[in-house]
Structures are given as C-alpha cells and as structure tokens.
Chains A and B, each alone.
Chain A
Amino acid sequence: MRAHLWKQVKDFLNSATIFLPTLEEVDLKPFEEEVIDTPAEEAVEPEDPVDISLEEDFNCEEDDENGDPSVLPEMIVLPLPSNIISRELRPSLESLISVERELRKGQANDALEGLRVGLANKSLLLLTNVNKSTSTKQSTRAWASVRNAQSQILCHAHCYQRARQALKYVGTPEDLAVYHKLKEKDLVTVKDITMAKRFGQGSDTLAWFWRIGPSQDTLTGKWMEECKPTLIILVGYI
C-alpha cells in the first residue's frame, strides 16, 4: 500500500516540474483537516483493525529504492493548485486552477453520492438486520455491517470536506453556495427508513445534500406547466 503510494506521489511530483514553476516550501499549505464524526446518539464503535496490515509495507519501504525512508509518502504535501498559497504564482496558474475547480466539483459530487448511499445503507441495515436479528451471532454480524457502513460514511464525508476545502481556494462563491459545509447533524440515518410513522415526521427535513441536483428553476418550470393556462385565464378574468 505504502510502496504503491510512493510511486503515485513520485510520479505526481515529477510531472509537477513540467506544469509548475519552482516552488518553495512556504508556497505550499497542507490541507487543514476538520474532524467530523457521526452524531454521538448514532455512533457505533469503530471496526477492529484486524484486516489492516501495514507491516509488509514497512518492509517494502526499506527495499524501495525510489523513496526516502525518513519521509512518509502520506505526509508529503502535494503541489496541487489549491495547496499553493503564493499570491505571486497564482496568475500563472489560472488554467490549472480552472481544471482543478471542475475536478473538485466532480469529487464533491462523488462524495455526496457515496454519503447518500452510505446513510441509506446504514438505515436499512438498522431496520432489517439489526432489528430482526434473533441470536447473538446474527446481532454481532448485523452490527459489524453497520460499523462498516459507518466507516464508509466517514470516508466519504472526509472526501467531501477535502473537495470543499480545495474549492474555497480554486472555486467561486457560487460553488460554495452549492456545496455547503458538512455538519455532524447531517450524518444522521434516514429516519423515514428507520422510524417511519413517527411523531413529527411531517415537519422533519432531510439534510441539504439529499436535495442537491438540477437548479430549482428547471424543476419548478416543468412542474408548473399545467398551471400556466389557469393563470392566463385568471389574469384575463381579472
């Protein structure tokens, strides 16, 4: 895993010399991670790291002639246009910035889709597997799948935050108006699945990312088509 990342980072840095001017360390700013977690009332214990093994990677690291063993590839700040804070360099990076802006929007869309799928999956698992488990064995398996779904949700949430953070530097205010800040309360399960027919359901709303899509004008335009003749008649009558 680490050796593979070394290769990725090395290739990226090599290509950076073609597209970017020479950069100093002060020109780059690492991504400031905002910690986001599932709301406390819905949190489940994290998965046991049984399957994750980095030991072989550390052995690979020593053999890896490309990498400097004192520097970990995951700690290197990649010179993406959104990480370059130098104001002098910015005008020369306009074409790169416009490309990154588009790609970051795609990354944000992917992450939000993953988030929606993850939350719906977790809700469904709670409703079916967890609620209907009749033995300890079934219950253990059900909760393991819920934990797995939660890890996926947090992974997509991080991915979205990273994309949004980058859009703050390379995007426009319109982009930030579409891609809102993700809050912990947004990462709740879909109550319409887990607790259908509950008290106060009518006034409950889903998080903003469930409604993201084409602009409101395109939707209301078609939906209001049938009302147009009525309005014209009414106006004529008045």
Chain B
Amino acid sequence: MAMEERGHHLKIFDINHKKPPTLAQITLRLTDIKDNPSDCVKIVDWIADGIKAENDQWVLNVASYLVFC
C-alpha cells in the first residue's frame, strides 16, 4: 500500500551503500580497457605481482619472528 501510494519516495529508506573498488576490480579495469597497448597490461600485471610479493614478504617476516622469538 505504502509502496503504491508513495512509490519511489520510499527508496530513501534503502541502504545506499556502494563499496569502493577492490584490488582485483581495479586490476581488471586497468587491463580491460580497449585499445590498451600490451605494454600497459604487462605493467599492471607486474606491479600487481610486486604488491603481492611484498605482502608475502611481510607474512614470512612475521612467521620467522613468531618461530624464533
């Protein structure tokens, strides 16, 4: 009834939450642009790999710390 009478005005009670893009979504967006030179795609892959390697370095550092301290 309320929906019929008030229509779209009730939408203000909907949760208006949009999540910011994730690393995977951004990687996909950067590699998916049409007419993108292949070099650009390689750069995106290379930096994404670097970020992942950097995270793994930290995980290993923490693991070493927990084992030896």
Interface residues of A (CB under 8 A from B): 1-2, 4-5, 8-9, 11-12, 15-16, 18-19, 31, 46, 49, 52-54, 73-76, 78, 80-81, 95-96, 99-100, 102-107, 109-110, 113, 155, 158-159, 162, 212-214, 219, 222-223, 225-226
Contacts and interface: CB of A to CB of B under 8 A. Distances in A.
A52 B61 CA distance: 12
Contacts, number: 126
The listed residue with most A CB atoms (<10 A of its CB), out of B26, B30, B48, B53, is: B53
Contacts of A52: 63, 66-67
Interface string B5-19: 000010110001111
Contacts of B40: 95, 99
Contact of A113 (B19, B26, B56): B19
7 contacts: A9-B53, A46-B66, A49-B67, A54-B63, A78-B50, A103-B27, A106-B27
A106 B23 contact: yes
A162 B58 CA distance: 10
Interface residues of B, number: 41
Would you list the 5 A-B pairs with minimal beta carbon distance, nearest first? A106-B23, A106-B26, A49-B66, A74-B57, A109-B20
